[in-house]
Structure 1
Amino acid sequence: MNTRSNGDVAVRDVALRDGLQLTEGRLGTAGKVELVRTLLRSGVPELEVGSMARPDLVPALADTLDVIGALDEAERDRCWVWVATPGHVRRAADAGVRRFQYCLSVTDAHNRANIGRDVETSMAALPEAVRAADAVGGKVQLCLATAFTCPLTGPVEPGRVLELIADPRGAGTVDVVVADTLGQAHPRQVGELVAAAVGPAAGRRIVFHGHDTWGMGVANALAAVEAGAGMVDSALGGLGGCPFAPGASGNTATEDLLFALRPDWLDPEGFHDLVRAGDRMLAELGERSRSRASAGAHGNGREFDWTLPTT
């Protein structure tokens, strides 16, 4: 039984990477930097701020290295960048990135669609990516997409996920991210896989990355925490989705997850700051909020501290 309190669990906002992949609107570089700083000041411990994916495939993230270049060292140390090859790591490291999320899919079909190679090729390159990060004092997460279902081949066997977590080529990574890319998992399923992953992770932190396609985003994150996850992902306003995962909706909303978890650093005033930051971001993007907690904060329950005060 996991005895960790919710207040000990890190929440990572991924709006500036996963959240922006499918939006028609765009955030400028200065706006992204401002949002990074707002989130960090508010107490969000870690962020995912961009990707080394080809700009023609994910144009909203083409300025990732410009965003990194505008941050100071302390800020960069709390910001993860998506990578898929050792070359990505070296290029990002040259720009000042020190936290690298090395991603591959559990299934060959999705890995080929997403990053153009099979799973074995991605895993074979992982030690080189770790060495490139080590050379600059960096850290690498192993991120396993489609850990529950694949949009191309269907349900994924848990044993395949555990096999990749246990693969000795990932021994130099600091975290293992288990991703419900399509948002089709349910809490019992999430809890069972996360609990089973703790052993083969061999001391590495387990991170759960969920989507809210079937309305289970918060429930799945709480199940992951109960099973031993040390960090859970979310995105302001529930933004998100994968260009190569048709049918996936947005991420679990950061506002909803924080309201549920109540980490030690969060109070109503800080929550209000995050709701307002999400409002500003969504307005600039021309997107609607999918967060139920944000809707509640904008409601009429003025006797409740977590409701936004009247102006």
Structure 2
Amino acid sequence: MNYPFEPRAELRDVTLRDGLQLTGKVLPTEEKVALVRELLGLGVPSLELGSMARPDLVPPMANTLDVVRSLTPEELERCWIWVATPRHVAKAAAAGVRNFQYCLSVTDSHNTANIGRTTDASLAALPEAVELVASVGGRIQLCLATSFTCPFEGQVAPDRVLAIANDPRATGTEDIVICDTLGQAAPAQVGSLIARVRAETPERRIIFHGHDTWGQGVANSLSAIGAGATMVDGALGGLGGCPFAPGASGNTSSEDLLFATQPDWLTPAAFGRLVELSEGLLGTLGEPQRSRAAQGARSKAEAFEWVMTDRAAEGGKAVA
């Protein structure tokens, strides 16, 4: 039986971008494409497919456009690409991308480390990126990294986030992504900022991107949903982190978020398959399993329908 979390929100799985970028390993294109199709086929609403970051700086993103070219327009409609400049947008659009996540950091020091320019310089280039996206009939999000804390400057003032969210140069962005890049925020803090973004900035879909560094990933995501976010990001097995943010660890686990929110499409069988995909990927990458829900699915409590067993996937039971 499902017990859907209210209010409802969707999961965006970011395994193939934020999940992979810190591993240092390039997953072959065909394996990325297979994972995309498995996740979409199971019912995951949307995915973060990759990044236009320089492959010499973030090697796991080197084959992002090869993945894009391997997918159908219908599959790409549910996928997002990380971009940071108009040039990124133009190059990705030429390959068939239509959903763009334009990212900048709230603090200058992290934006300089991550993107090589000040926050204001990234904002100044945003109107050109919006225009390019509009010319191909696409969608663009404003993604604000270090919305709570910065590895170089510490605590970030909420008013700084709101000022960027209200900047007229962000006109044309359809969504806003509020990021706990370091995983140092607490639930009340997340709820407060999301509520202010909802009340005090232009009407847009609000997405929360959290990390689980201090063990608050799921709690923060639920707090964000309660305050008005309608999408939350997660990665299989809690994989990932930012290579330019000292102290950042893995993303909030997709499995944990899904078990907590229990969307209508999630059955025990589908959940079991997600755990299998997670375990296979983590094994390939040599990464640990950080998802508590995935660990729970491998427990011996067989009377609980979400625990994976060797029985056929019928009557709500998952297969091993």
Q: Which of the five TM-score ranges fits, normalised by the shorter chain?
A: over 0.9
- Tell me the CA shift for residue 5 of structure 1: 5.6
Aligned residue in 2 for 1:164: 164
How has the CA–CA distance of structure 1 residues 227 and 193 changed in structure 2, closer, same or farther, with 3 Å as cutoff?
Answer: same
Please say if residues 89 and 100 of structure 2, whose CA atoms lie closer than 8 Å, have aligned partners that are also in contact. Answer: yes
Amino acid at match of 2:229: A
**Amino acid aligned to 1:52:** M
- Distance in structure 2 (CA, Å) of the matches to 1:302 and 1:155: 45
Question: Deviation of residue 182 (structure 1)?
Answer: 0.3
Distance 1:173 1:104 in 2: 13
**Are 1:234 and 2:211 an aligned pair?**
no
1:203 is matched with which residue? 203
**Residue 293 of structure 1 aligns with which residue?**
293
Query: How many aligned residue pairs are there?
Result: 308
What secondary structure, in the 3-state scheme, does the structure 1 residue paired with 2:16 have?
A: coil
2:22 corresponds in structure 1 to: 22
Q: Deviations over 1:9-50 (max 9, x none)?
A: 110000100001111443111000000011101111010010
Map 1:171-186 to 2 at 5 A: 171-186=171-186
Distance 2:5 2:74 in 1: 27
Distance 1:63 1:6, change over 3 A: farther
Q: Is the Cα contact below 8 Å between 2:183 and 2:248 reproduced in 1?
A: yes
C-alpha displacement of 1:8: 3.1
The answer to whether 1:87 aligns with 2:87 is: yes
Post-superposition shift, 1:199?
2.5
Q: Give the secondary-structure state (helix, strand or coil) at the position aligned to 2:15.
A: coil
1:68-79 → structure 2 map (5 Å cutoff): 68-79=68-79
State the match for 1:143 in structure 2.
143
SS in 1 for 2:207: strand
Residue 185 of structure 1 and its aligned partner are, at CA, apart by: 0.1
2: distance between equivalents of 1:207 and 1:239?
Answer: 19
Q: Secondary structure at the match of 2:224?
A: helix
What pairs with 1:60-139 in structure 2 (closer than 5 Å)?
Answer: 60-139=60-139
Tell me, yes or no, if the aligned pair for 2:5 and 2:260 is still in contact at 8 Å: no
The amino acid of 1:49's aligned partner reads L
User: Match of 2:306?
Assistant: 306
Contact kept? 2:124, 2:169, Cα under 8 Å: yes
- Give a deviation string over 1:162-199, Cα, whole Å, max 9, x none: 11111111120010000000000000000000000002
State the SS of the aligned residue for 1:132: helix
| Per-residue deviation, 1:273 | 1.1
Question: 1:255 matched to which residue of 2?
Answer: 255
> What's the secondary structure of 2:287's corresponding residue?
coil
1:36: which partner in 2?
A: 36
**Cα contact 1:176–1:201 (8 A) shared by 2:** no
User: How far does residue 279 in structure 1 lie from its aligned partner after superposition?
Assistant: 1.0
Cα distance in structure 1, aligned partners of 2:78 and 2:7: 18
Q: Using CA pairs below 8 Å that are at least 6 residues apart, which structure has the higher relative contact order?
A: 1
- Runs of 4+ aligned residues of structure 1 deviating over 6 Å after TM superposition are none
Contact 1:26 1:285 in 2 (8 A): no
Whole-angstrom CA distance in 2 between matches of 1:228 and 1:201: 13
The answer (yes or no) to whether the contact 1:25–1:284 under 8 Å persists in 2 is no
Cα shift at 1:61: 0.6
Unaligned runs of 5+ in 1: none
Aligned to 2:47, the other structure's residue is in SS state: strand
Partner Cα separation in structure 2 for residue 134 and residue 201 of structure 1: 22
Assess, with a 3 A threshold, how the Cα gap between structure 1 residues 72 and 201 changes in structure 2: closer, same or farther.
farther
Alignment-derived partner of residue 13 in structure 2: 13
- 1:120 alignment partner AA: D
**TM-score normalised to structure 1 length:** 0.97
- Return the alpha-carbon distance in structure 1 between the equivalents of residues 63 and 179 of structure 2: 25
Q: Is the 8 A contact 2:83 2:103 kept in 1?
A: yes
What's the counterpart of residue 316 of structure 2?
none
